[in-house]
Amino acid sequence: MQYSRSKSKSPLFFGSSVVLGCFIGLMGNTGAVLFSSLGVFVKPLADAFGWSRGDISFGATCLTFGIIVGMLTTGHLIDKYGSKRILTISVVLSAIAIASGPLYISSLPLFYLMLTLGAFVGGPTNTVGYVRVIACWFDRRRGLFIGIAAAGMGVGFALVPWLTNVAISRGGWQAGYYVLGLYILILVLPAVVFLIKDKPEDIGMRVDGECGDEPEKTNSTDGLSHLSVIRAVTTPAFSLLFIVIFSVAFALFGTLTHLVSMLTDRGIDTATSALVASSIGVGMMVARFVVGYLLDHIFAPKLGMIVFGFAIVGLLLIAHADSLPGYFIAALFIGFGVGSEADLMAYMVSRYYGLANFAVIFSCLFSAYMLGTGLGPYAFGRSFDAYGNYLLMLNVCVGLLCLAIGLLALLAPYDRYLKPIAD
């Protein structure tokens, strides 16, 4: 296929195919597949092996550990060899790890091993590999296309539980993991191989679809230095972002996980409570597009302050509202915050630190996200066991979101750490 080198620009240039490839890839990222399907496996595995639901749910902790280690150990490979090569290997290995599970799972340790191994080898598929591609292809519309690609994860979260349930109903829990392995292999692998290109220069194009010999001036950081990993993690912005990301993930995922229980404790039937919880998904999907678009027009820390302000309102409504409409509004606001955090994180890393070491720096910050995601639900559960309600933790989470907003206000302009490269 030939690519024109004329100076004309088309809104449907090859980068659109790259965005589609990232969207499909995130539909089947290993973390989303294993997390979203785990709840569907709880009863079948309990019936098959006699394991307790608590023991099976510990698999979520194994997933968190595997993802963190997988991302931290492969980030430098993505930066060195490009996303496409590493993603291809990761997709194949994670599909094999998941589909082979039924061949040897016979005890809890082996079940935990399968989840940990699948999450580890699938580490690059968990956002980092794909958002690096988007950051390389887009500058002016980087935020928008990060949001569009990330929306694929929401589609995956909706599709995978349904697909898993159908497979289990036909052939037991083993069929569930066989189908998940095929889902990754058949859906994601072709998208990575045929649609994704690491950077526009690989096919004679420029960032944002420019085809001429003289690039058009943009707000790109291509003419600036790119920070080393050591330099990046010692900047004040990194420390602030780490605390912000952990605080928001802890507060919002803890609330999200226990939302149905909070509402049923107040006498709302399970079906209605689940419907309220599903509104979080609506908020997440809307956030991907709205926040993605606004990132290209509003300073990201300021936008984060607004978004997490809405999330605070959502938590306060959950804690103190006594009407169903209030709970629906709260779920939408919380979902808006959940759907924004990873996009804000990816965008700010690319702007503050450049792209040369993007995957490693992003992976370090993503570990804060995973820690918050893993510890938040646990803290909510322990608090309920101790006090018989969730009010204390909701108030703590309001405080954490206020802290996050305050720290975002301290972040410097994007070019504080990147210096122009001398001619």
Domain 15-200: give its CATH code: 1.20.1250.20
Residue-level pLDDT at 218: 43
pTM: 0.81
Per-residue pLDDT of the chain (423 residues; tens, 9 = 90+): 333 343 444 444 567 889 999 999 999 999 889 987 887 888 889 899 998 877 887 888 888 889 999 999 999 999 999 999 999 999 999 999 999 999 999 999 999 999 999 999 999 998 889 999 999 999 888 999 998 998 888 788 778 888 998 999 999 999 999 999 999 999 999 999 999 999 888 877 888 766 555 444 444 455 455 678 899 999 999 999 999 999 999 999 888 878 888 888 888 887 888 788 778 878 888 888 899 999 999 999 999 999 999 999 999 999 998 889 999 999 999 989 988 888 899 999 999 998 889 999 999 998 999 888 888 888 888 888 889 888 999 999 999 999 999 999 999 998 887 765 444
Q: Which CATH number fits domain 229-411: 1.10.340.30, 1.20.1250.20, 3.40.50.300, 2.60.40.10?
A: 1.20.1250.20
Cα–Cα dist 163/180, whole Å: 8
Residues of the chain with CATH 1.20.1250.20: 15-200, 229-411
Residue-level pLDDT at 420: 53
Cα dist from 324 to 47, 262, 317, whole Å: 35, 13, 10
And the tokens for 319? 């804690």
Residue-level pLDDT at 167: 92
Residue-level pLDDT at 309: 96
Please measure the distance between the N-terminal and C-terminal CA atoms of the chain and give it in whole angstroms.
35
Closest C-alpha among 348, 237, 226, 240 to residue 299: 348
